[in-house]
């Protein structure tokens, strides 16, 4: 990839900002650059970051967070960006926004060590929840409107890994990207977020949280696992038949819309 076409964008205060261009589809076409970004929150972006994103082509901001998260940390965005709120959950089930707060105390439903099990439940809810299905349908509506070359739709949540991660899974699958590539993109969060998560763990240790099972639980909340995505895909296969059927029947993305998406995003 050329330097201006990095996979992970180098921002001052933007975490897990990633370009989806360059992925190959089964048909031999390629996802266009400067059309799709996925990321964590936008609330801490610097002026330099905002200028960088403006120059990058940022035009549509899809916010997958809950109302509480939006109110607590509203997005910063360049002038002229259209903001679209599409909450996957009524409240942040992923706990990412809590972990990111300075007052965070490691306790998930009374148990500070059950982050991994909690995240498996989150991924089942992302697949089966009516609010999640409505949010991802809204996401696809906006994807279909992003018709101009070099105009970027960015979609995000708080950590850019679970709600955003599944949005990327649905989108890339609709475009015909192989599942193996989709999984690689999903797991790239652990590389893009590594420094940030390591710092979070260090801050908790400095506050006196030294039990390995507690720190591992927080790490489970702030990273992605292959098993998280497998849980989502198994839930889809068991309840809806296949990922393709889920996209068409549950997210209501028609064959015609998929063809339109391919025209917009592939070359």
What is the per-residue pLDDT for 165? 98
**Backbone angles phi and psi of 259, in degrees to 5:** -60, -40
Q: If pLDDT is split at 50, 70 and 90, which confidence band does 3 have?
A: very low
Residues 6 or more apart whose Cβ sits within 8 Å of residue 195:
none
Q: Which residues pair with 38 in a beta bridge?
A: 18, 155
Tell me: the pLDDT tens digits for 22-49?
Answer: 999 999 999 999 999 999 999 999 999 9
Contact 59, 82 (CB under 8 A): yes
Tell me: the pLDDT tens digits for 177-221?
Answer: 999 999 999 999 999 999 988 998 898 888 888 888 888 888 888
- For the structural domain made of 18-265, what CATH number should be given? 3.90.190.10
What is the per-residue pLDDT for 1? 37
**Backbone angles phi and psi of 70, in degrees to 5:** -65, -45
Tell me: the pLDDT tens digits for 124-139?
Answer: 999 999 999 999 999 9
Q: If pLDDT is split at 50, 70 and 90, which confidence band does 100 have?
A: low
Over the chain, what is the mean pLDDT?
91
CA atoms within 13 A of residue 186's CA, in its CB half-sphere: 27
How far is it, in rounded angstroms, from Cα 102 to Cα 203?
Answer: 9
What is the per-residue pLDDT for 216? 87
Residue 154: how many other CB atoms lie within 10 Å: 24
Percent of the chain with pLDDT over 70: 90
Q: Which whole-number Å values give the CA distances from 104 to 100, 101, 200, in the listed order? A: 7, 5, 10
């Amino acid at each position: 990839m050329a330097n201006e076409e990095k996979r992970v964008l180098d921002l001052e205060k933007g975490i897990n900002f990633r370009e989806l261009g360059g992925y190959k589809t089964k048909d031999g076409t390629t996802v266009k650059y400067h059309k799709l970004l996925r990321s964590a929150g936008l609330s801490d972006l610097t002026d330099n970051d905002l200028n960088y994103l403006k120059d990058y082509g940022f035009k549509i901001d899809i916010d997958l967070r809950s109302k509480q998260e939006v109110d607590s940390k509203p997005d910063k965005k360049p002038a002229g960006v259209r903001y679209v709120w599409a909450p996957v959950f009524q409240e942040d089930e992923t706990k990412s926004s809590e972990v990111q707060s300075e007052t965070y105390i490691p306790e998930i439903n009374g148990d500070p060590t059950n982050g991994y099990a909690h995240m498996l439940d989150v991924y089942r809810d992302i697949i089966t929840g009516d609010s999640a299905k409505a949010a991802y349908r809204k996401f696809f509506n906006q994807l279909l409107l992003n018709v101009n070359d070099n105009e970027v739709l960015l979609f995000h949540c708080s950590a850019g890994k679970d709600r955003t991660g599944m949005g990327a899974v649905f989108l890339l699958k609709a475009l015909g990207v192989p599942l193996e590539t989709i999984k690689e993109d999903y797991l790239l969060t652990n590389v893009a977020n590594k420094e940030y998560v390591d710092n979070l763990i260090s801050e908790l240790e400095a506050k006196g949280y030294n039990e390995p099972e507690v720190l591992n639980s927080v790490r489970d909340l702030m990273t992605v696992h292959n098993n998280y995505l497998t849980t989502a895909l198994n839930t889809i296969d068991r309840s809806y038949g296949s990922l393709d059927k889920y996209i068409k029947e549950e997210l209501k993305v028609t064959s015609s819309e998929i063809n339109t998406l391919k025209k917009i995003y592939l070359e």
